[in-house]
Amino acid sequence: MQKIRQIAWDNQIKPAKPEEIKQITWYEIGAISPFWFEADVIKILDKDILNSDKIINIWSWVAEIWFEMMPTELQKAWDWIIEEISER
At 63 the pLDDT is: 64
Could you tell me the CA-to-CA distances from 40 to 8, 20, 36, 71 in Å, in that order?
Answer: 13, 14, 12, 23
Does pTM top 0.75 for this prediction?
no
Per-residue pLDDT for the chain (88 aa), expressed as one digit of tens each? 778 877 777 777 777 888 887 787 777 766 656 565 566 777 788 888 888 888 887 776 666 777 888 888 888 887 788 888 877 6
User: Residue 59: left (phi > 0), alpha (psi -120 to 50), or beta?
Assistant: beta
Beta-bridged to residue 7, according to DSSP, are: none
